[in-house]
Structure 1
Amino acid sequence: SRARGRAVPLDGTWVCAVLAGPELLGSIALTGRAGLADADRLLFERASVVTALLMLLRRSVAETEDRVRGELLGDLLARTGDPGTLAARARRLGVNLNRRHSVFVAHSEVAPRHRLLAASARSAQALNGLAGLHHDHVVLVAPSDAPGPSAQTLAAELGQAVGFPVTVGAAGPATGPAELPDAHREADRCLSALRALGRTGSGGAVADLGFIGVLLGDQADLGGYVQRTLGPVLDYDSRRGTDLVTTLDAYFAEGASLTRTKTLLHVHVNTVVQRLERIGRLLGPDWNAPARTLEIQLALRLHRLTQGPRP
């Protein structure tokens, strides 16, 4: 049918290719008719032509809308134009920039960029957001208060759509046109960090990168990092009136030496051991592994800074 542009019978079903020139758009099938008179067959073939025209029209409309959305996205991220005018353009596309939006930068090592862009445009429209190319990267802006989890979901959806792993860096939330460019830069740095860390095919925001996220963030949430890293110990100290965090700080300051730690704290070595065991139960059994100790020591320093000097 594709070669001849005519309907052909196949096991009691008539099939006709839906063509736009040499491009195959799909096919239509007519069942329950073992034979077709010439007039009926011609009508069936005309139906395939009408179907092709409708599909081309729909594709043209979608491509135009995607282009308009992509142009708006580029102007937003480049700070081109008056914020009020940009917001009005967005409203005409059903996008309310007064809502809190997150910015996502997507990349695939394997998938063709046009396929990733097409999949991203579909996801953006479903979320009442925008998608387009900016600085050779596929960028999405969509309503979200949780950029990290949203990036993980988006990475999985886009990966399934294009058939290859997709990595997504995220930042936000941002409100209004003025905040989007800074969020985009942070999302771009987050994507670079994810790729450098070997987390291809995943998604996340700087808050999901531990101490690396603290270094990358424009407006690093230092308090949030301390709470995520030391929260159980700090909460325990607050509830019980203990000072486990000081023991932990002293332990690392003395090179993980129990003897030097007990001397610094003026307590018995068994007391240090008991406190460290309690800390291990609060932070998890891997708290003393090299990767975790690096994060914990940074969190301790940040906590010390935010608390100010001791009297």
Structure 2
Amino acid sequence: MVNDTFLDLLYDQAPREAFDAVIATAEAVGRTDEEVAELRRQCDVALRLRELITHRQAREAELRALYETASDLTAIRDVDAILTAIVRRARQLLNADMTYLSLNDEPEGASYMKVTDGALTPEFRSLRLPLGTGLLGLVAQTGAPYFTEDYQSDSRFLHRGYIDEAVAGEKIRAILGVPLTVEGRVIGALLAVHRSVRPFPPHEVSLLTSFAAHASVALENARLFADLDAAHRTMTEHTAAVESAALAHDRLTDLLVAGGGVEQVASVLSEVLGGALAVHAPGGELLAGDAAGGDWADAVDEAIASGRAVRHDGRYVAVAQAGADHVATLVLDTGGRPLGLPQRRTLERGALVTALVLLLARTVAETEDRLGGELLGDLLDARTEALPALRERARRRQVVLDPPLAIAVAAIDGLERFAAGRALARLASEQRGLAGEHSGRLVLLVPAADPVAVGQQLAGVVAGGGGRATVGVAAADPDTLADAYAEARRCLDTLLTLGRVGEVSDPAGLGLTRLLLGENGPDELAAYLRTTLGPVLDYDEARGTSLVETLEAWFATGGRVKETGSVLHVHPNTVSQRLDRVADLLGSDWREPGRGLDLQLALRVHRLQR
């Protein structure tokens, strides 16, 4: 019965007190000394069995944990998760209050906390110890295991104030540390601590050393996997880049053969290079894509000098050149992503194709412009008997010469002449007309009933390219094109003489002034105004009076004082006083017909200038 009792206690994993209670009960019920002694002997055997069973169980748990850790390493991908599991299992098996793992930072000569389990304070989790400092720093430096029953009072270790404060904050007393080594090189340490003074038996040192070995394997495997992944990624990226470059080459070649434009080149490059591509003319005008903001002009000279794509401010700049001629700039924005060598070469090849496309387009455009310009010049200079042949040439080019026609003569500022000519040529082509240069000015001839609207359309096209157009226009007839051109040219010259740059006008908008000013310049016009109307202008400007306005109203009402006062909303006496002042300034003969005509013309020019 007694044996069954001790066996039951062993089976139930009862505490030591339960075994002692059996003997105490036997003594209390009056068992003999021999019986009590036998019970004590059996109890000692049972307790030794209990200790052996407990040890075996602990050993099995340790082996199971090590086996599970080894199994985890076979499928390692997340090294942080593996290290966390190792530290947690070590704490459970050693029954420690806290375990932690540190890694060495050799350039800085320190070891820093990588993983902790059971830490109480955030300061301890971010602790960095110089190598050789404290128990951890000593293990990480020497590669030998160390332990202490009471760290705070152990003088074997180099103590530092901030380290001792962190240790005190965790209430640490006993510490066991073992090194992490890879191929004989110490890479860190694994430590177990207790918050009470106690020794560390050999089997705990052995167990923690085993866990440290597994942690070292995990770290080394992670490094090898990272190197393998990096190599595979590099190979994959290189293969993809080469394939992408080959695809881009094929598409650019097809595009060139099919006669594609700069817009198609930009679209292909944007797609294959994975970025936003803008193509700018040498002067900065946008040719294709979305305008590239920021300052990239400094990279152009470098790209021209090297003949390669240049990285600048997170973007890539390549120059399209035809010999030594800079024809375009390609700006690729990848969002800060670097390009590999094959991708850079693709961008450079795209710049070459862009140069070819632009040169081809320029050649075609120059040919078309030359032919169209020649026909337009022949029409403007032709004698009457040559017109039928010229109309046949126009018909073959699908140019409409049936009335009504509008002719526009333009002076362009702020836009390259070739670009302006191309803009007018496109406009003429859209309306089945002609465009070209004649006598130093750009000319547009299209079928239209409203010449002013044509001139405004021309000015709008030029403004869209960043320029400004001053345009003289006139209605035209197929038989009198030369006369219409001369009329439109006089309108243009008059606008320029008046300083009305950027405006559009037909003969009606300028009246007699175009006949008088068409051959004169701004200096001659200024001299005329000064001689004829200067004293009155100066008087008004100095005193803020309205003598010029009074003169205009007086001439407009046929020299009638009362009607002039009504127009100006002043008393007739005021009008008379103002006219007397004009006589003082210009002389008493200003009302004479000859002087009066000069004054009216000067007033007209002055108003047109305003």
CA displacement at 1:122 relative to structure 2: 4.0
- Cα 1:166–1:257 change in 2 (3 A) is same
Instruction: Check 1:68–1:162 CA distance in 2 against 1; reply closer, same or farther (3 A cut).
Output: farther
Q: Which residue of 1 aligns with 2:340?
A: 36
Question: What is residue 303 of structure 1 aligned with on the other side?
Answer: none
Report the residue type matching 1:5 in the other structure. Answer: G
Q: In 2 relative to 1, CA 43–203 (structure 1 residues): closer, same or farther, beyond 3 Å? A: closer
Structure 1 residues 251-278: Cα deviation after superposition (integer angstroms, max 9, x where no partner): 62xx3155xxxxxxxxxxxxxx6xx96x
CA shift at 1:211, angstroms? 4.5
Give the Cα separation in 2 of the matches to 1:11 and 1:73: 49
For 2:352, which of 42, 49, 52 is the aligned residue?
49
Read off the aligned partner of 1:170 and give its amino acid letter.
V
Query: Shift of residue 280 of structure 1?
Result: 9.3
**Is 2:484 the partner of 1:180?**
no
The answer as to 2:512 corresponding to 1:208 is: no
**1:100-140 deviation per Cα after TM superposition (whole angstroms, max 9, x unaligned):** 21111112578775565444334433443222222222222
Question: Could you list the runs of 5+ residues in structure 2 that have no partner in the other structure?
Answer: 1-302, 518-553, 570-595, 602-610
CA distance in 2, matches of 1:201, 1:14: 38
Displacement of 1:181: 1.1
**Aligned partners of 2:312, 2:452: CA distance in 1, in Å?**
51
Tell me the SS of whatever aligns to 1:188: helix
**What does 1:246-265 align with in structure 2 at a 5 Å threshold?**
252=558, 255-258=559-562
SS of equivalent residue, structure 1 residue 131: strand
The AA in structure 2 aligned to 1:82 is A
2:374 equivalent among 66, 71, 94: 71
Residue 2 of structure 1: aligned partner: 304
Report the Cα offset of residue 57 of structure 1.
Answer: 0.9
CA deviation after TM superposition for structure 1 residue 63, in Å? 1.2
Q: Structure 1 pair 28/20, CA: closer, same or farther in 2 (3 Å)?
A: farther
What pairs up with 1:218-297 in 2 under 5 angstroms? Answer: 252=558, 255-258=559-562
Q: CA deviation at 1:71?
A: 0.5
Do residues 20 (structure 1) and 20 (structure 2) align?
no
TM-score (norm 2): 0.33
Preserved CA contact (<8 Å) 1:153 1:203: no
With over 3 angstroms needed to count, the CA separation of the structure-2 counterparts of 1:45 and 1:30, relative to structure 1, is farther
1:131 aligns with 2:435: yes
Question: Whole-Å Cα distance in 1 between the matches of residues 415 and 346 of structure 2?
Answer: 40
Q: 2:474 corresponds to which residue?
A: 171
CA apart distance, 1:171: 0.9
Structure 2: distance between partners of 1:196 and 1:12:
49
CA shift in 2, pair 1:86/1:34, >3 Å: same
Q: Deviations over 1:79-114 (max 9, x none)?
A: 167323322322333321114211111125787755
- Alpha-carbon offset, residue 56 of structure 1: 1.2
Distance (whole Å) between structure 1 residues aligned to residue 556 and residue 318 of structure 2:
78
User: Structure 1 residue 13: deviation in Å?
Assistant: 5.0
The one-letter code matched in structure 1 to 2:444 is: L
Classify the secondary structure of the residue corresponding to 2:389: helix
**Residue of structure 1 in register with 2:397 after alignment:** 93
- 2-structure distance, mates of 1:53, 1:153: 31
Q: TM-score, normalised by structure 1?
A: 0.60
Q: Which residue of 2 aligns with 1:230?
A: none
SS of corresponding position for 1:2:
helix
Aligned residues: 236
**1:197 maps to amino acid:** L
Distance change >3 Å, CA 18–CA 85, structure 1 → 2: same
**Aligned partner letter, 1:199:** R
Secondary structure in 1 aligned to 2:304? coil
In the alignment, the residues of structure 2 paired with residue 109 and residue 51 of structure 1 have an alpha-carbon distance, to the nearest angstrom, of 27
CA apart distance, 1:205? 0.7
Contact 1:124–1:131 (CA under 8 A) maintained in structure 2 = yes
* Contact kept in structure 2, 1:156 and 1:201, CA below 8 Å: no
Q: Contact 1:7–1:15 at 8 Å: present in 2 too?
A: yes
Change over 3 Å in CA distance of 1:56–1:99 after alignment to 2: same
Alignment partner, residue 387 of structure 2: 83
Identify which of structures 1 and 2 has the higher relative contact order when contacts are C-alpha pairs closer than 8 Å and 6+ apart: 1
Say which SS state the counterpart of residue 305 (structure 2) adopts: coil
8 Å Cα contact 2:365/2:422 also seen in 1: no
Instruction: Give the match's secondary structure for 1:3.
Output: helix
| Alignment equivalent of 1:140, drawn from 441, 444, 448 | 444
| In structure 1, C-alpha distance between the alignment counterparts of 2:416 and 2:312, rounded to whole Å | 35
Closer, same or farther: CA 142–250 of 1 in aligned 2, 3 Å: closer
Distance in 2, matches of 1:153 and 1:166, equals: 10
What RMSD over aligned residues (CA atoms) do the two structures have, in Å?
4.0
The structure with the larger Rg is 2
